[in-house]
Amino acid sequence: MKKHDIVEGIIDTYDFPNKGSFMAKDRRVTVKGALKGQKISCMITKLRKGKAEGRLLEVLEPSDIEDGEPCCSHFGFCGGCTYQMLSYENQLKLKSELVKNLLDGVIDSKLHPYEWEGIIGSPVTSGYRNKMEFSFGDEYKDGPLALGLHKKNSTYDIVNIKDCSIVSNDYNKIVAYTLAFCQKANLPYYKKMQHTGLLRHLVVRQSYTTKEILVNLVTTTQNIESLDLSAYVTGLCDLPLEGKIAGILHTENDSLADAVISDRTTLLYGEEYIYEEILGLTFKISPFSFFQTNTKSAERLYDKARSYVGETKDKVIFDLYSGTGTIAQMLSPVAKKVIGVEIVEEAVIAARENAKLNNLSNCEFIAGDVLKVIDDIKEKPDIIVLDPPRDGINPKALAKIINYGVDEIVYISCKPTSLIRDLATFQENGYYVKRACAVDQFVGTVHVETVVMLSHKKPDSVINVKVEFGEGEGKVPLDNIAKRAAAYKPKERVTYKMIKEYIEAKYGFKVHTAYIAEVKRDLGLPMYDAPNAVEELKQPRKHPTVEKVEAIKDALGYFDLI
């Protein structure tokens, strides 16, 4: 097998997120976007020892679980949705299995059995998103201006969105108008590699409850005078929308990062916020506030998290990575005090305003990095709730969280693989999973939320044993302890450097690491995969002389490896 070879196979393994694999000759080939049971063709893009990666070319035969009809004309081209060819029942089943498999891979369920509560589905399956970030670009290289979402398996090409099914039709109208306006003005999009151009993103938020809309046009400052913002605002306000435009903003962003970042944001029309309601509470949402993108499913997510937290009377709760303080305010009425920590200052300001809006007096919100802030908080938590970003928790921050030693932690994760990594650390420090479930916030996509309840391992009882060392009846001789310690002492790992130093000191010549590896391999000694190993050598490998082979064997014998 070589790079660029085209191979066929039936996907027999499927892992999160959206990675199928099959055996081709002596290698397992992993293909992103291929479902279990599909017969596919792919082009080999990477080769490793016993492994390969391929790019999906064609689905030759569908999987048995493909029992749905795509509800969007962009499906198959757009990189946003992946599961639209599955019925919603099968989407939920697949996501539940993927999360459960990840948890079972890190949890010792025999030692600590946990309750898997399955997956909670979304009450709405179309038009559910309350926020969408659209990108400017072109549909193909040097093609006409496009505005929408990235094409499947593409970093640059954009799919012009006309009837996206996971947002309301108001979004589609706003996108169509914005694209037409920019095309008419002949405005250039920002090219990420050349760092030139004006148009970057269009961010639209709409309250599921009030139908209020917030529009934010994101550009660079390059030739910004060519953008007639006044005319753009007038056209937006004249659109026949079901909802009402509450505010229109313009954000300037000259950052090299391909993300919605504000160097300066200007309010062009109306207000810079909208309102949303969840579980009887009202939340004020500003342009850069974090808020769950599926309002109705978020109610189920937070209700589940609240049930995991359990009894909170007279307890202090830390809500870390608190965003606009949604979870903190859910728990506030039944807690002594809730302290939220969030790095985005704008979100913290919104959280404080939301607490006043909901007449909650026992919530405190602190702006800053969790890693740095929690050292300065005087109160100590009884319960900790975690809702970190997709990459999970900074390892140093995780160590500080664990050091509080609270009995219970509730961890909400939007990326199961990050959760699994952090769970391993929690378990190493005496925590174990008691309950877990998945919550589908992202219908039609591979993404899924997970809620886990962690409990700290406490001994059921303590036995005190008194031991006396020394000579005489009932005492443990110290020399016996020393002998047993020496017998159980782990052997020092012998490195290639140690072997080379021994040979040079004894024989007066140097040997290459590759020679040592070759001798070890010939002797059947354990070998380790090298992270930078290559499949094919550019030049024939040289072999050690008989003299050097004997010297290497001598060194291996000296270190008790043979």
Q: Which residues are catalytic?
A: 414
Please, are residues 463 and 528 in contact by the beta-carbon 8 Å criterion? no
- Cα torsion 31, 37, 41, 44: sign: positive
Please, are residues 251 and 221 in contact by the beta-carbon 8 Å criterion? no
Helices 513-523 and 496-507 pack at an angle, to 10 degrees, of: 100
Q: Under the phi-then-psi rule, with left for phi > 0, alpha for psi from -120 to 50, and beta for the rest, what region is 105?
A: alpha
Please name every residue paired with 409 in a beta bridge, in sequence order, or none if there are none.
384, 454
- Cα torsion 246, 247, 248, 253: sign: negative
| C-alpha distances in Å from residue 249, one per residue of 118, 146, 280, 548 | 41, 21, 29, 73
State the number of CA atoms in the 13 A half-sphere of 408 facing the CB. Answer: 17
The DSSP string of 456-475 is: E---S--------BSSSTT-
Query: Nearest to residue 519, comparing CAs of 552, 497, 541, 546?
Result: 552
- Determine the residue type at 377: I
Please, are residues 320 and 297 in contact by the beta-carbon 8 Å criterion? no
